[in-house]
Amino acid sequence: MNDKKRKASSQLVPADDELRKKQPPKKKKKKHSKGFIIFKKLMTVIATTLLSLLLVIIITGTIVSTALTVYVLNFMDDATSVTLQQLESGSDTYFYSNHINENGETELKVLHRVQNDFQRIPVSIDRIPQHVRNCFVYTEDERFYVHDGVDYKRTFSAFLNMFLHFYDTEQGGSTITQQLIKNLSGDDRHTPQRKIREIFAAMQLEKTYSKDEILEEYLNYIGFGGAYNGIQLASLKYFGKDVDDLTIPEAAVLAAIPKSPEEYGPFVIYHKDDNPKEPVVVDGRANNKPRQEYVLYKLYENGAITYDEYQEYLKTPLIYTDSPEYLAAHPELTAEEEIEKQKSNSWILDAAYFEAMDIIKEKYNLVDKWQALEKINKGGYRIYTTYDEKMQEYVENRLLDINNMVPEYSVKKWADIDGDGTAEEYLPHIAFVAMNYDGELLCAVGDIGPKVGSLGTNYAVRKEDGRQIGSTVKPITSYGYGIETGQIHWGTTVYDSKLPTDVITGDDGQPWPNNYMGSGGHGQPLKIYQALQQSYNTVPAQLLYKFGLEEVFKFSTEKLGLEFCAYDKNYSPMTLGSLEEGITLENLVNAYIPYGNQGIYNEAHIITRIEDSSQQIIYENNGNPRQAVSDETAWVMNRLLKNVIDNGTGTAAKLYNKEVCGKTGTTQDWYDEVFVGLTPDFVSGMTMGYKYKNPALDLQGIVSAQIWRNIIGDYITTEYANTSPYFEKVSSVIEAPMCTSTGGIAGPNCGRGVTGYWKSQVTEDYSPPYCNGAHGGTQSTTQATTQASGNSGAAAGGNAGGAGGGDVSGGAGGGDVSGGAGGGDVSGGAGGGDVSGGGDAGGGDAGVAAAGVVEN
């Protein structure tokens, strides 16, 4: 069986020889040269690279186009609501103030009606002749009637001309529709985003309105120089005729103006002082002529006039309304017609304008405040202000003459020294601000003498005219912060010691700071109320060093709203008020509001509400009240500031029928005098100084508190005679005699000194310092260890005098600060004090070198 299978199998499978015979012969491989192989591989690499690059481009293009589509769609959304009704109508803007009428009732009164710089007389398109329309269309947008809002050819041409300069002048790419959109939005920034938004808005406008509607609005809106806008008003201004009667040459003159009214306006003539060495006289009429000829050429080029007409119109005389020919034909007119000049704004109106400009700029995200001013003058707003008409008038009259403030110096300082009849060169500026405790500005006068011009220098409110504030900075930096945080109190013991030289030195490299007239720095012990009362410089410097610049800076700027710059975070600015850029008097006075208002801060403002032309409220301000410091801190600071008036540097500000709290300030070398005064009804301040430092023009001997009283004192005593003479007390504050030994709240066995004021609220860092009667300390003692640079040899005899339990002891004993051996809290020599100063026995400044501030 197996043999049979093998036999059958052998018959099915051919022999090897037969298989080889039947297989087709193999082709011989061609051998390629080595160069061909390299070329082939190179081409493969190139092809692969190109293909990969193509794929990358396609993918990247897809991503970019998708992103661009999303980006563009956002602008399309913004364009959907564009309407011609958005154009400003040129309605007047009004500023209102509260007025007390003869019946004692408060009513609104127009403070100011804005001199509107947007005037026009609208006319329908049917009244505008075709040749007038042609002048503007063929000059500004010759494909106006065929495009959909955007002339892509012109846009692309203008773009290329920026780089290749095909044309002699820069070519604008905007169509008439796009120019109208720019007027609708009020946005003339040169940014890609604005241009894209403008393009889509123009296309949307073209879908909504006819060409004639768009052209009519354009011709009624465009500016022709000054306060003249629209074709009808321009026709009357320049040629004394209605638009219906304009000739072709006259229409060409008007079409030449909108490109640059300040250059092509026929009545423009002024000196351009970009280069003082080569002043250029800008003659609008001369500039307009070649531009008018260009307009006429465009009419000819587009077939609107013949060549002969074109040549004729080039030579046609033009009779303007200021020409002798026109005036001869109109004897009722004169070439020098008297036009009443707009009166300069009052000081208080300037303040309202400055604030309104800031508000409008921020609300509409405008480029600068001058763009905001333009919007105010066109927008038909209703602006409601807070100012007190009677007070403003009174203070303005006071500041007309410097002799009302400093009569004793009228001959010495302000006289006509050289006999030429002018003494203004020697006059300092004087500014005054008053606001109530709601932050509402009642009065603002920006300088002395009659006011000249509008929106200029204003030392009361304009930020660009910020001044140094001197020692008025102390209550709103170191003292305010220390009382608020409980690190100092009314009777805290401090020392008249300068800061270590490794912390800061004066300009002369000596220890800093000096006190008034270069005195002090000898380690004399003081109480907080005394240091502020006499305006020591060394003590607030010590306090700043103890508390830390950062913390005090944050307190002043965030709690009290002071507009310090970053460079003011330093010892001199926050101790002496030597600010890098200065702040406004308004901002300084505003920071004091909490000290007369139970700790509540209200933001200074003169505007309470703004309504747009449709009487919709777009802005409101009630002062944004907030608790800046505790009511107890505010009352303690109030009493400290009253002590300045009663017993310190501000005694000249006293009034017979009103409590006055305040702080004086003097800057280095007597260039500025400052005072802030609080009464129960309002807070106010004055600044007096020179714009530029001049050693010959110092104010030494002039008392800022007296100037403040001379400005506003009589007004307070008469106009506020029927209001409370006292500030409202904070009942939780402890009012008690101060222990003469410890500076704490006097107990039964204590020597009783001045009446002091202490917070009662217990915190982690503070509890009321009741004296325990042993006069070795108080029941609540919080220590402060501030380094002070020493001046050897001065005895530090304390309140108790020598040996014994005095607050500061010059010899051995148990005083809180001991100059020799003993158990004082701070010891100058050997002993168990918490801080050892290592100085000579006797408690001199060297003996308290490490004991800058001690709180009891």
Parallel, antiparallel, or unpaired for β 626-627 and 617-620? Answer: unpaired
pLDDT of residue 844: 31
Which pLDDT score is estimated for 193?
Answer: 63
- Cα–Cα distance measured from residue 343 to residue 319, given in angstroms and rounded to the nearest whole number: 33
pLDDT value of residue 456: 85
Residues 741 and 800: beta-carbon distance below 8 Å: yes
- Return the sign of the alpha-carbon dihedral for residues 53, 58, 63, 68: positive
Task: Identify the CATH homologous superfamily for domain 125-328.
Answer: Biosynthetic peptidoglycan transglycosylase-like (1.10.3810.10)
**Angle (nearest 5°) at CA 836 between 830 and 841:** 45
| pLDDT value of position 507 | 78
CB 313 within 8 A of CB 249: yes
Q: pLDDT, tens digit, for every residue of 248-288? A: 999 999 999 998 888 899 988 765 555 544 556 678 899 99
Rounded-to-integer distance, Cα 417 and Cα 395, Å: 28
CA 87, 92, 96 angle in degrees (round to 5)?
A: 135
Contact of 392 with 130, CB cutoff 8 Å = no
Residue stretches of the chain with pLDDT short of 70: 1-32, 34, 36, 64-91, 115-119, 154-173, 184-195, 226-227, 270-281, 331-344, 407-427, 517-518, 669, 692-702, 776-856
Closest CA to 778 of 812, 811, 749, 809: 749
Residue of 583, 588, 568 lying closest to 476 (CA atoms) = 588
Nearest to 405, CA basis, from 703, 715, 720, 716? 703
Rounded CA separation 334/430 (Å): 43
Where in the chain do CATH 1.10.3810.10 domains reside?
Answer: 125-328
Using the CB atoms, write b or e for 557-592: b if 16+ within 10 Å.
Answer: bebbbbbbeeebbbbbbbbbbbbeebbbbbbbbbbb
SS3 668: helix
The encoded tokens of residue 446 equal 């920006």
What is the DSSP code (8-state) at residue 223?
B
Q: What is the DSSP string of 657-692?
A: TB--EEEEEE-GGGSEEEEEEE-SS-EEEEEEE-SS
How does 172-189 read in b/e, with b if 16+ C-beta sit within 10 Å? Answer: ebbbbbbbbbbbbbbbee
| Residue 416, SS3 per DSSP | coil
- Say which DSSP state 189 is in: -
pLDDT of residue 671: 78
Query: Helix, strand or coil for residue 481?
Result: helix
- Give the pLDDT confidence score for residue 350 in this predicted structure: 93
831: left (phi over 0), alpha (psi -120 to 50) or beta: left
Q: 789 to each of 538, 543, 786, how far by Cα in Å?
A: 11, 14, 10
CA dist., res. 351 & res. 461, Å (int): 6
pLDDT of 78-129, one tens digit each? 544 566 655 545 567 889 988 777 777 777 888 887 755 556 778 899 999 9
What does the pLDDT read at residue 335? 35
pTM: 0.63
Q: Which residues are bridge partners to 778 per DSSP? A: 771
